[in-house]
Amino acid sequence: MEAKKPIEGKMRYLKYGFVHMECKTYHCPECRKILNAGPNYQPKYCCECGQKLDFTEVKWEPDKQIGYKEEEENYGKEKLPKIC
């Protein structure tokens, strides 16, 4: 099977309950499942469909802080998507 490059995406999440963060996500080019990948770990295959993945050209960047949560919307906890 030929290795394919993962699709880059963006995701926002809340850190410590009040800091808005933006991070890059990588998705399987076949089934679009979000991949559990980071600077220190890149899966060789998609855990969902088994597509071979090529992370060699991915540039890893730290998560970006994009602002603080307003007082009045202070209700939830850190939301993270389900990953493999």
Q: Which of 14, 27, 45, 48 binds Zn ion (CB under 5 A)?
A: 48
Tell the smallest beta-carbon distance from residue 20 to Zn ion (Å). Answer: 29
Q: Does 46 bind Zn ion (CB under 5 A)?
A: yes
Cα distances (Å, whole numbers) of residue 35 to 42, 44, 67, 71, 74? 8, 10, 26, 33, 29
Q: Does 49 bind Zn ion (CB under 5 A)?
A: yes
- How many Cβ atoms sit within 10 Å of the Cβ of residue 47? 14
Nearest-CA neighbor of 49 among 67, 63, 62, 30? 30
Tell the smallest beta-carbon distance from residue 62 to Zn ion (Å). Answer: 26
Question: Which positions touch Zn ion (CB under 5 A)?
Answer: 28, 30-31, 33, 46, 48-49, 51
